[in-house]
Amino acid sequence: MNNKKLARTQWSSIVHFITWLLGALFLFIGCTSPRIDRELSDIPVGERFQPSNLYKVPALPDNFKRVAILPVYIPETIELDENELDSVVQAELRHTGRFEIVEVSPEQMYRIIGISRMSSLNSFPEDLLSYLASVLGADGVLQADLTSYRPYRPFEIGLRARLFDLRSNEALWAVDEVLNAGEKSVYTGSRYYSLGQVHNKYPFEDSYSALRSPNRFLAYSAFTLFETLPAYLPEPASAAN
C-alpha cells in the first residue's frame, strides 16, 4: 500500500514538473518570437545608393599614409553645430581605415591663414600647405564642405569633398553628392548602414536608426562618400623559393 502511495506521489511530481517545463517553454517562445519575427522582417531589400559624381585615381601611392583633415566648411545659410559636424565626419573617415588621420582644428586654421574654415572651391594657401607638410608631417589633405542640410524628414545632406597629395599637388579623389532620404536607393542604403554600423541595444537596433536622426543620416552620408576613396594596390605575393 505504501509503495502504491509513493508511486502516485512520484508520478504527480513528474506531471507537475512537465507542466511547469511546458509553461516555461511556451512563455519563452512567446517572448522571443516577436523579436525573431521583427529581425527577419527588418532586412532591407533593394539597391543602395552609390555615388557617381566623383573622380579618383586607380590607387593611392604606397607612401601616402598620413592625411590632415580640415574643419568642414559650412555656408552661412546653414545653421548647425560646427564641432559636432566635424566630429561626425572625422569619425566616418576613420572608419574607412584608409590612412592615419590628423585633425586640424578651427583654431589652428585661424592662426595659420586667418580664417577657421575654408571652402573646397578655394585654392589652398601656401602657408597652410607648408604647415600641414612640415609641422604635421602629413602626406595629404582632405577637405569637405556641407552644401545642403535638411534636418527634418525626409533628411537631406549635401557633401563635397576632395583629397590632395601634398607632395605632387595631385588630386587623388573628389566627390560631390546630395543624399535625400526620400529617394529609394538612399533610403535603402541608410538602412543597410544602420544594420552594419549603428550598434544600438534591443529594441532600438533596427535598420531605421539613420532615418530617425539627422546626425545619423549625416554619418551615413559621410560614410557612403568615404567608401569611394581609392585604396592601396595589394602587396605582391612573395616569390616562391
CA-CA distances (angstroms) from residue 114 to 69, 71, 90, 123? 17, 14, 23, 15
Q: Are 68 and 132 in contact (CB under 8 A)?
A: yes
Q: Give the model's pLDDT for residue 27.
A: 57
User: In whole angstroms, how large is the CA radius of gyration of the chain?
Assistant: 27
CATH architecture of residue range(s) 54-180: 3-Layer(aba) Sandwich (3.40)
Identify the weakest region by mean pLDDT among 25-29, 55-59, 154-158, 183-187: 25-29
Q: How confident is the model at residue 19 (pLDDT cuts 50, 70, 90)?
A: low
Q: Give the model's pLDDT for residue 43.
A: 85
Contacting residues for 64 by C-beta, under 8 A, at least 6 apart: 99, 139, 140, 165, 172
pLDDT, tens digit, 9 for 90 and up, residues 215-236: 999 999 999 999 999 999 987 7
Give me the percent of the chain exceeding a pLDDT of 70.
78
Residue 32 has pLDDT above 70, yes or no: no
Q: What is the pTM of this model?
A: 0.81
What one-letter code names the amino acid at 1? M
Strand pairing report for 54-56 and 66-69: unpaired
Q: How confident is the model at residue 239 (pLDDT cuts 50, 70, 90)?
A: very low
pLDDT, tens digit, 9 for 90 and up, residues 161-206: 999 999 999 999 999 999 999 999 999 999 999 998 876 655 556 8
Residue 8 has pLDDT above 50, yes or no: yes
Mean pLDDT of the chain: 88
CA-CA distances (angstroms) from residue 173 to 59, 140, 230? 10, 11, 7
User: H-type helices in the chain, by residue range?
Assistant: 2-41, 82-96, 106-113, 126-130, 184-197, 214-226
Q: Give the model's pLDDT for residue 2.
A: 54
Q: Give the model's pLDDT for residue 241.
A: 47
What one-letter code names the amino acid at 194? S
Q: Are 188 and 210 in contact (CB under 8 A)?
A: no
Give how far the C-alpha of residue 187 lies from the chain's centroid of Cα atoms, to the nearest Å.
Answer: 15
Distance CA 100, CA 60 (A): 13
164 DSSP β-pair partners:
141, 171
